[in-house]
Chains A and B, each alone.
Chain A
Amino acid sequence: MLILGIETSCDETAAAVVEVSHEHGIKIKSNIIASQHEIHNKYGGVVPELACRRHIENINPVITEAIDKAGVKLNDIELFAVTKCPGLVVALLVGLSTAKAIAYALKKPLIGVNHLEGHILSIFLEKPDLSFPFFSLLVSGGHTELYLIEDFGKYKALGRSRDDAAGEAFDKASKMLKLGYPGGPAIEKTAISGNPLSINFPRAYIDKDSLDFSFSGVKTALKNYLDGFIPPYSTSSIFLPDVAASFQQAVVDVLINKAFLAAKMYNVKTIVIAGGVASNKLLREGMKKRGTAEGVSVYHPSPILCTDNAAMIACAGYHRFIKERDACCNFYDMDAEAQMSL
């Protein structure tokens, strides 16, 4: 079965073709991502109207490229999968309307996918034999959430951010440090030559048993530091790599500690990190090291599958399709939704 996935929920215009077969499981045939980082870099964040305009320009060429690279024809596609929530509605609508039009014209089924489910299931594209249950630590610019994954379609939300997402904290810190957008990779790069122990930024754990996150405090601490309100009281002695490394360490420490607290509380031996921030090396390596010490297996998708992509949407779409086959032929009323949890 050939599936075309389409994703336009935020920065990325993406399309991918995957093939599902008994022998090989789900196999990626093409995974095309047109990033808008260049335009957004100028603004220090995602600008919805710009994002929307660029999605419209990108969507057709990206789909054509995905089809060509996969060596198939649009007519061969048997199922269309598109992100319908959550995200910027104006951006989501570009992908959704395109997918509806193609599926309608070709008389093929179309399934709407929750972007978060796409991230959670992306690991199955590279590790199809992963067994349930596992924890999914989903960290990106818009989300920091911890789910217990019991089966396909069976997700229990155990914790999430009460204010800023981890990626948002990186973006805002990067803006304060004038390092550019997206903030995560910019801070990671600057941090390489810095000492993560040089500044003790606060780690917010809320309370002992809480699996919720809070990253607004560490952002404020950085501001206080840059304003000269806390030692060394002078901005002249600031060494940017030390600040970036210490900030990154503070965010990553909290993510790791919460994920392992969850594993302990629920006695689950597998953690999967997903979402854009899952590409962060300090997070990956820190999680693996802790996992080895505590007998917990830690997995993460390749960077190309951590970022917003359409292969994960096709993958999640396939698993939904198996369960809700009938609903997929009646997609005309499907609408984009900004805020929707799993």
Chain B
Amino acid sequence: MKSVVIISSSPEESQKIGRAIGKLLTAGDVVCLYGDLGSGKTCLAQGIIKGLDVAEDKYLRSPTFTLINQYKGRMPVCHLDLYRLDNINEIEDIGIEEHIGGDEVVIIEWAERLEKLLPEKRIDIHISSVNVNTRKLIISCPDNRFEESLYI
């Protein structure tokens, strides 16, 4: 597992980093986002979705309420938010496995709630707050694509 640490100093920069991550994704990738409420998971996800060439990129809304938002980008994109789900049974009930392992790029907020359902091959991004606008992003990936290309 290769890890890359990136510091973002604003929501705009996080979106830029997200966009760069999105450009490096391929069909079937599962991106898991971890971090507290307000740490910027949705903000980063919005950037990633833009990097996947989704056309309606103005309204990439939080999937907290809808649970699953789907978009058409370079490949189908599925943005999930498990915030409101409490245990693994409930997550299974919303049919999450139907999205993982197909052609879709799947972005999952609060991915820790997936527990054992998390695929082994995945991209983990841990976000933590350093101060008001600064966020530390730790990206872990089975291959080294981010190491080579994310320093822009």
Contacts and interface: CB of A to CB of B under 8 A. Distances in A.
Interface of A: 43-50, 52, 86, 88, 90, 141-142, 160-165, 168, 172, 175-176, 212, 216-217, 219-220, 222-224, 227, 229-230, 338-339
A86 B66 CA distance: 9
17 contacts: A44-B84, A48-B84, A48-B94, A49-B90, A50-B86, A141-B65, A142-B65, A165-B61, A165-B65, A168-B64, A176-B37, A212-B58, A216-B38, A216-B62, A229-B129, A338-B66, A339-B69
B68 to A, nearest CB: 7
Given A45-B84, A160-B59, A163-B42, A224 B132 contact: yes
B83 A90 contact: no
A219 B90 contact: no
Contacts of B84: 43-48
B64 A222 contact: no
A164 B90 contact: no
A43 B86 contact: yes
B147 interface: no
A219 to B, nearest CB: 5
A141 B67 CA distance: 13
Given A90-B94, A223-B39, A168 B62 contact: yes
B105 interface: no
Nearest to B131: A229
Q: How large is the interface on B (under 10, 10 to 19, 20 to 34, 35 or more residues)?
A: 20 to 34
Contacts of B65: 46, 141-142, 165, 168
A339 B62 CA distance: 13
B85 interface: yes
Interface of B: 11, 36-40, 42-43, 46, 58-62, 64-69, 83-86, 89-90, 93-94, 129, 131-132
Contact of B129 (A90, A223, A339): A223
Contact of B66 (A160, A224, A230, A339): A339
Nearest to A175: B37
Contacts of A339: 66, 69
Contact of B90 (A50, A142, A160, A165): A50
Contacts of B86: 43, 47, 50
A32 to B, nearest CB: 24
Contacts of B94: 48-49, 90
B66 A223 contact: no
Given A219-B37, A223-B36, A49 B93 contact: yes
